[in-house]
Structure 1
Amino acid sequence: MTDDADENGSYDERPSKSARKRQSDDLQALGEALIALSDSELDALPLPEQLRDAVVLARRITAHGGLYRQKQYIGKLMRKIDAEPIREALNARRDRERVEAIRFHRIEQWRDRLLREGSEALASFKTEFPHIDSNAIGKLTERARKEQLQAAQKVTPAGRELFRVLRDALSREPE
């Protein structure tokens, strides 16, 4: 036989050159995501010391060409390790950020609704969250509404305080 087929006529199950290139690019992108992490987030990941040092060095490089070569080097190091735990940790981080953003928007929506609708919105809020102190939130809402009328600005100090109180109330929300 002159081709790469074995005695059964089947070919190697090696990935194609394109598949290897895609995998390499994926690992390099994962390495670039490591560069963007904070020090505490980077320390929480299971990274080999050589990879951690390369990521820290990449943060200090300002020259475009040097940074490009350092990112390629990080990609090369990533190909030598099992990147799945790193990928899982980054995905978990992204999921936490997404949940936190949803929670933040929910709090903003309740604050805006309370300021817009007043006691009707407070009754709905109390129905949905029976554990809250509706009197305190009602007083704070009225204060924020008055400040909003006087100050001609959307978010007032009382509005920010209302946001904090709502955030605390929703964080204690029973599951």
Structure 2
Amino acid sequence: MQIRPITIEDIDQFIALWNRVYEEGEYLRSPAPERSKVTNVLTRVEKESIPQFVAIDEQYLVGSVEIFPASMCGYEGGEFIHTGILGIHIDHQYRNQGLGKQLLATAIQRGWDYGFDTIVLNVYKHNLPAIALYEQFSFKHCGELGVVTLANGKQVMSQKMELKRGYQRER
């Protein structure tokens, strides 16, 4: 298993991974954006060395993690100036094997190097394995964000978790 920065050449497999996770109906509210939008984002990621990594098993992209500047996600100024927004996708066949932990460790370290002071994420309250993983990295619960409807029609509560620089304990 190789973990490395994402490149524009990964675009098709990255979109496919996103859509596989979406089609499970449990973890994402929307499918991958249009290819042109993903191309623009990945071009910026490469140019600015924004923390985004993929996990490759042989030649198959099986996981990804990113920590985007909050401004890329629609948040501007104030408390968000040094905040990164974390997202992670792992193919269902590769979950519960330590891959998420490896991806998070890589992304978080690179996020601090990039200059983030805070890393935040949204997670659905029913996703207990993900929450347990984030707690291992010292992410703290910061409140509920409201009910969302997933692709399978299920309504679930979304919550915010955050990690501040210097508050991460050893895993």
TM > 0.5 fold call: no
More strand by share: 2
More helix by share: 1
Higher relative CO (Cα under 8 Å, sequence separation at least 6) belongs to 2
TM, length-normalised to structure 1: 0.23
TM, length-normalised to structure 2: 0.23
**Larger Rg belongs to:** 1
